[in-house]
């Protein structure tokens, strides 16, 4: 049997985030194009050399990008919307970045989440124009590796089906035209690579892990047979990931030389399919067995036995051993972490460490023995050490978890009765106005925090500053005339990090960056132990604010599911368990707030939708435990206490029911970007609890006037009864400037008053 080690892709950003620095310096004008390309080339070669040193057999090119790989293909194929053609004095590179980020008077292309990851890609916009291959960057990358480092690499590109599936600008009629135009371009790119000496071409087709209707499966078959006809000499590895290959029986028989399957996320189903239908005997099987989505060391012996069972089932004569998906979703190396406790650090595996794992298991599969016997026993000891770490065996947490009963998941009274009680005790006007939580993080706020982090100012000085800012904004809210106040979140930078730093079970890295979109990188916290509340997290700031005013100040927390979905999570227990532990911790905080007299508490869940599985048939499992976690956190309060939640930038159409099942007294939703759509959905499926549809977009400094807001309010009132109707902006205001914030909120309050007046006088008439 032939055995080869490889990865689907390697992170491009460099271990010191060099990539981000190069890109941003170019944007700022600090680098010329020549310098920019030179530095990018150095980084690419550095990444290739690193993989070479780690001993991987087959190195990939084309996993690198100057912004985003979907955009790369769109650009190569000339899918450049008209509005960018007209830009003056643009070079190809600045036009490329204009598509990504917008330019003066030209809006950027849409950006959206890459499957169920936190990476966002640029959505290509097909506009019916004739496509043409403008350049073949894959060929450039291939030749660069060959000429500079003598590497015959495996070029990878997003496959034609997935590319089409994720693009927009076509309908059922024009889809065929789009594909017919696309395929010759793919063929051209592939043929040039073959001519230049590429042995294999990897086509990434994650869209083939969604459940596809029959006619789509047929379309995939047509695409690939056409491609096979046009480039008969190319060896194509059809690479899937994130889930099992759909319609396995048919799609595993596509005319390609190899099939790559995810044996981490789609393990059960992929194995079942192979068992049932066999694996085509002339194809290479790429076994994605090292998790490309988590940061944990693998148990090498277990991985080997998994590979052996797949080999046995498939009877494959030739296999690749690889990551389950591109390693771009994990940080680069654990070597640069100096502050983590050793038990945790040893158990971590980022991209480089994962490559070593691949090399190790490949060696074993090839030779029947380990490179270093000791490495394997060590890998098990490491996993064992973390498993027995006190932080994973917190008796107090486990006892509370065991004592949970069905009652903990529901409020004492149903919403309709709570609403009446709350109305009496809170004394709110019709159409109460409020904000989402954060107020502008001015440069002064940022500077002061930076100084405090660097220990240039003391804790007392920093806290005094936060209090001064909070007090100033309480006064501003009074002047504006809002009904429910917030303290402003000046003490927080990040809504997950803030809580992670105060709860047990979390760890924070120094350099574990992953790209979220473009040059924006995030450093997700690591949840590695039992999560426990030890002391109040938000009480001080909220109570400080509450003492300054007679208005209600909302308590402000990040929800359990959002904390979970925006972290790297331990893999020794189901996610549901971790979500419930966080929920219990938040419940304690909520009860603390309630005891201290806070009557309204908001628990934000902007990432609830993000955790949805790719396959719709798995949605309900996830939603059941995710919704339960929220309810566990929020249900133990008195009937009088009003629970709010907030969500933004999610598609709500098929999501109203889950939101409703959270049983939050009030939800504030971002809507200005898709107001019409949401109103339509609410017409189809009326929402039964308190709800505020954002009346203005917080992403722009523009201040909408009262009449504009009135229009939105009147439209919303068509689908929401007035006694459950709230008024708020789309989202938190931390990225805005103060003057525009005050102006917009002032208009919002004016609009609310006008609406009250209109509605009340109508009632009298
Ligand atoms: N309370 C948070 C804020 O206002 C909510 C942020 C969010 O929705 N992402 O900033
Ligand atoms: Zn929001």
Residue 86, pLDDT score:
79
Q: Is the confidence at residue 530, as pLDDT, over 90?
A: yes
Paired residues of 569 in beta bridges: 527
What residues contact residue 518 under an 8 Å CB cut-off, 6+ apart?
Answer: 23, 67, 68, 100, 101, 120
pLDDT digits (tens, 9 = 90+) for 393-436: 999 999 999 999 999 999 999 999 999 999 999 999 999 999 99
Q: Is the confidence at residue 672, as pLDDT, over 90?
A: no
pTM: 0.95
pLDDT digits (tens, 9 = 90+) for 129-156: 899 999 999 999 999 999 999 999 999 9
Q: Is the confidence at residue 467, as pLDDT, over 60?
A: yes
Residue 145, pLDDT score:
98
85-94, 272-281, 382-391, 455-464, range with the lowest pLDDT: 85-94
Q: How far is the CA of 372 from the centre of ligand 2 (A)?
A: 50
Q: Is the confidence at residue 674, as pLDDT, over 80?
A: no
Q: How far is the CA of 278 from the centre of ligand 2 (A)?
A: 48
Distance CA 397, CA 549 (A): 37
Q: Is the confidence at residue 697, as pLDDT, over 90?
A: no
Residue 613, pLDDT score:
92
312 by Cβ neighbours in 10 Å (0-12 / 13-18 / 19+) ranks as: exposed
Average pLDDT of the segment spanning 325-329: 98
Nearest to 429 by CA among 115, 726, 90, 47: 726
Residue 765, pLDDT score:
52
Q: Is the confidence at residue 89, as pLDDT, over 70?
A: yes
234-248, 253-267, 362-376, 649-663, range with the lowest pLDDT: 649-663
Looking at the CA of residue 734, tell me the nearest atom of ligand 1: 10
Query: Angle, to 10 degrees, between the axis of helix 33-54 and the axis of helix 351-367?
Result: 40
The bound ligand whose nearest atom lies closest to the alpha carbon of 559 is 1
Counting ligand 1 atoms within 8 A of each CB, the residue from 600, 604, 666 with the most, and so the one to mutate, is: 604
Q: Is the confidence at residue 698, as pLDDT, over 90?
A: no
Strands 642-647 and 154-158: unpaired
Looking at the CA of residue 648, tell me the nearest atom of ligand 1: 8
Distance CA 292, CA 80 (A): 32
Nearest alpha carbon, ligand 1 atom 1: 437
Supply the mean pLDDT for the chain.
Answer: 95
Residue 375, pLDDT score:
82
Residue 111, pLDDT score:
87
Q: Could you confirm whether 699 is annotated as catalytic? A: yes
Distance CA 23, CA 39 (A): 10
Average pLDDT of the segment spanning 692-708: 90
Q: How far is the CA of 495 from the centre of ligand 2 (A)?
A: 11
Paired residues of 727 in beta bridges: 433
87 pLDDT band (50/70/90 cuts)?
confident
Residue 110, pLDDT score:
87
762 pLDDT band (50/70/90 cuts)?
confident
Residue 90, pLDDT score:
84
Residue 88, pLDDT score:
77
Residue 170, pLDDT score:
95
110-119, 473-482, 616-625, range with the lowest pLDDT: 110-119
Distance CA 668, CA 433 (A): 11
Residue 1, pLDDT score:
93
Residue 437, pLDDT score:
97
The bound ligand whose nearest atom lies closest to the alpha carbon of 499 is 1
Q: Is the confidence at residue 736, as pLDDT, over 70?
A: yes
Distance CA 298, CA 373 (A): 15
Average pLDDT of the segment spanning 117-139: 94
561 pLDDT band (50/70/90 cuts)?
very high
Catalytic residue, chosen from 367, 389, 699, 757, is: 699
Considering only residues 89 and 167, tell me which one the structure prediction assigns the higher pLDDT.
Answer: 167
Q: How far is the CA of 556 from the centre of ligand 2 (A)?
A: 13
Nearest alpha carbon, ligand 1 atom 9: 606
456-460, 672-676, 685-689, range with the lowest pLDDT: 672-676
Looking at the CA of residue 670, tell me the nearest atom of ligand 1: 8
Residue 108, pLDDT score:
87
Residue 764, pLDDT score:
59
Task: Give exposure, 199-237, as e/b (b: 16+ Cβ within 10 Å).
Answer: ebbbbbbbbbbbebeeebbebbbebbebbbeebeebbbb
CB 475 within 8 A of CB 439: no
Looking at the CA of residue 646, tell me the nearest atom of ligand 1: 8
DSSP string for residues in 491-538: T-S-TTHHHHTTSEEEE--SS--EEEETTEEE---EEEEEEE--S-SS
């Amino acid at each position: 049997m032939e055995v080869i080690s490889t990865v689907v892709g390697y992170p491009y950003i460099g271990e010191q985030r060099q990539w981000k620095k190069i890109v941003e310096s170019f944007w700022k004008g600090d680098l010329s194009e020549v310098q920019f390309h030179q530095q990018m080339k150095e980084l690419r070669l550095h990444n290739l050399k690193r993989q070479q040193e780690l001993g991987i057999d087959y190195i990939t090119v084309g996993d690198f990008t100057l912004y985003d790989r979907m955009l790369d293909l769109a650009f190569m194929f000339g899918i450049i919307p008209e509005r960018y053609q007209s830009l003056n004095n643009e070079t190809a590179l600045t036009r490329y970045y204009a598509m990504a980020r917008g330019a003066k008077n030209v809006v950027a292309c849409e950006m959206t989440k890459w499957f169920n990851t936190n990476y966002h890609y640029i959505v290509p916009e097909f506009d019916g124009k004739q496509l043409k291959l403008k350049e073949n960057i894959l060929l450039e990358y291939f030749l660069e590796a060959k000429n500079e480092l003598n590497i015959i690499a495996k070029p990878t590109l997003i496959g034609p089906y997935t590319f089409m599936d994720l693009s927009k600008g076509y309908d059922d009629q024009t889809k065929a035209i789009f594909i017919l135009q696309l395929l010759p371009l793919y063929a051209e790119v592939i043929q040039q690579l073959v001519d230049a000496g590429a042995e294999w071409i990897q086509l990434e087709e994650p869209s083939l892990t969604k459940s596809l209707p029959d006619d789509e499966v047929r379309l995939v078959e047509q695409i690939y047979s056409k491609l096979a006809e046009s480039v008969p000499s190319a060896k194509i590895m059809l690479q899937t990931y994130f889930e099992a290959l759909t319609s396995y029986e048919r799609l595993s028989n596509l005319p390609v030389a190899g099939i790559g399957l995810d044996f981490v996320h789609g393990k059960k189903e992929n194995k079942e399919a192979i068992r049932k239908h066999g694996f085509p005997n002339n194809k290479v099987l790429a076994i994605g067995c090292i998790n490309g989505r988590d940061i944990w060391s693998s148990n090498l012996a277990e991985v080997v036995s998994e590979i052996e069972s797949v080999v046995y089932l498939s009877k494959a004569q030739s296999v690749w051993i690889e990551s389950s998906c591109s390693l771009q979703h994990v940080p680069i190396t654990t070597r640069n972490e100096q502050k983590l406790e050793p038990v945790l650090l040893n158990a971590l595996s980022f991209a480089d460490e994962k490559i070593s794992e691949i090399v190790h298991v490949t060696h074993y599969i090839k030779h029947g023995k380990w490179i270093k016997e000791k490495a394997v026993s060590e890998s098990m000891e490491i996993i064992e050490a973390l498993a027995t770490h006190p932080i994973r065996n917190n008796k107090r947490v486990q006892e509370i978890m065991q004592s949970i009963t069905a009652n903990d998941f529901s409020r004492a009274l149903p919403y309709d009765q709570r609403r009446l009680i709350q109305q009496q005790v809170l004394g709110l006007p019709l159409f109460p106005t409020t904000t989402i939580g954060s107020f502008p993080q001015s440069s002064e706020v940022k500077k002061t925090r930076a100084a405090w982090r660097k220990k240039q100012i003391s804790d007392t000085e920093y806290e005094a500053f936060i209090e001064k800012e909070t007090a100033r904004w309480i006064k501003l809210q009074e002047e504006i005339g809002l009904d429910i106040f917030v303290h402003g979140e000046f003490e927080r930078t990040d809504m997950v990090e803030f809580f992670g730093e105060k709860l047990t079970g979390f760890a924070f890295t120094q350099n574990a960056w992953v790209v979220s979109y473009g040059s924006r990188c995030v450093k997700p916290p690591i949840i590695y132990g039992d999560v426990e509340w030890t002391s109040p997290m938000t009480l001080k700031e909220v109570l400080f604010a509450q003492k300054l005013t007679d208005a209600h100040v909302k308590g402000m927390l990040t929800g359990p599911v959002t904390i979970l979905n925006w972290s790297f999570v331990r893999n020794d227990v189901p996610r549901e368990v971790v979500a419930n532990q966080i929920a219990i911790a938040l419940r304690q905080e909520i009860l603390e707030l309630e005891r201290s007299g806070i009557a309204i508490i908001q628990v934000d869940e902007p990432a609830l939708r993000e955790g949805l599985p790719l396959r719709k048939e798995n949605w309900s499992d996830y939603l059941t435990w995710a919704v339960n976690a929220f309810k566990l956190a929020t249900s133990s309060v008195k009937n009088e206490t009003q629970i709010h939640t907030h969500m933004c930038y999610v598609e709500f159409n098929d999501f109203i029911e889950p939101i409703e099942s959270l049983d939050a007294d009030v939800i504030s939703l971002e809507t200005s970007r898709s107001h019409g759509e949401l109103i339509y959905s609410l017409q189809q499926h009326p929402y039964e609890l308190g709800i505020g549809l954002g009346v203005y977009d917080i992403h722009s400094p523009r201040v909408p006037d009262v009449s504009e807001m009135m229009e939105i309010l009147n439209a919303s009132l068509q689908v929401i009864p007035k006694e459950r109707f709230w008024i708020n902006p789309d989202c938190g205001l931390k990225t805005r400037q103060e003057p525009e914030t005050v102006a917009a909120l002032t208009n919002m309050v004016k609009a609310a008053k006008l609406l009250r007046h209109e509605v009340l006088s109508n009632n009298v008439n």
